[in-house]
A and B are shown apart, each in its own frame.
Chain A
Amino acid sequence: DGGITQSPKYLFRKEGQNVTLSCEQNLNHDAMYWYRQDPGQGLRLIYYSQIVNDFQKGDIAEGYSVSREKKESFPLTVTSAQKNPTAFYLCASSLQGGMMNTEAFFGQGTRLTVV
């Protein structure tokens, strides 16, 4: 069953703790993305990776970190430096990076709540 999978669906974190959100795809896509979705603010790009072992900051990268050691995996770490981490996080992948004329596929999202 091909697709893109995010886990967990819900995540609770105490203030001051780092937490890692998982994103895995078996679509053989080169490009992967992380977004944050807040009410009234649409989708904001956190980080993206056009190819394995390479990634770039998006529009709101502060307080986040990523890695792309494998083509199929693009985990996002929300660090304690992120001032307002409670949000819905979406991961996406597309066949090619640097040539955005192909469809992007999205995971089901992870809702992170800081308690």
Chain B
Amino acid sequence: AQRVTQPEKLLSVFKGAPVELKCNYSYSGSPELFWYVQYSRQRLQLLLRHISRESIKGFTADLNKGETSFHLKKPFAQEEDSAMYYCAPGGQGAQKLVFGQGTRLTINP
């Protein structure tokens, strides 16, 4: 069964500072990891997936199979990055879509 842990419920950083949201997963197969984001008064939406190896809104995430982690990083945080972020594991054989507990990121001016 797939499981994911986001150890920080709340994270607060200043604008322009680096930000890292942690995600650790447990998955028996070959994992594919996703980050979803929920901005205030907006729908939950996909931010990025590891398989595409892309940078979205300045965010990147590297799958580290040795550490079973998929941390989300951004070198210079912006105020508009304030949101709720969820990590989600997937991949072939994953029967259902489950999420971590979520991290509320607040960017202070």
Q: Which residues of A contact B (CB under 8 A)?
A: 31, 33, 35, 40-43, 45, 48, 50, 56, 58-59, 90, 92, 94, 97-101, 103-109
Contacts and interface: CB of A to CB of B under 8 A. Distances in A.
Interface stretch (B11-19, B54-62, B86-94): B86-94
Given A40-B9, A42-B86, A42-B102, A104 B92 contact: no
Interface residues of B, number: 27
A98 B90 CA distance: 9
Contacts of B98: 45, 59
Given A90-B44, A100-B32, A108-B43, A42 B99 contact: yes
Contact of B92 (A35, A41, A101, A109): A101
Contacts of B102: 42-43
B43 A100 contact: no
A101 B102 CA distance: 20
A107 B100 CA distance: 19
13 contacts: A31-B97, A40-B101, A42-B100, A43-B99, A43-B102, A48-B96, A56-B96, A100-B97, A101-B51, A103-B46, A105-B45, A106-B43, A107-B43
B28 interface: no
B40 interface: no
A97 B95 contact: yes
Given A40-B9, A101-B90, A104-B46, A50 B101 contact: no
Nearest to B49: A103
Nearest to B42: A108
Contacts of B9: 40
B97 A104 contact: yes
A90 B101 CA distance: 15
Contacts of B46: 103-104
A41 B86 CA distance: 11
Nearest to A6: B43
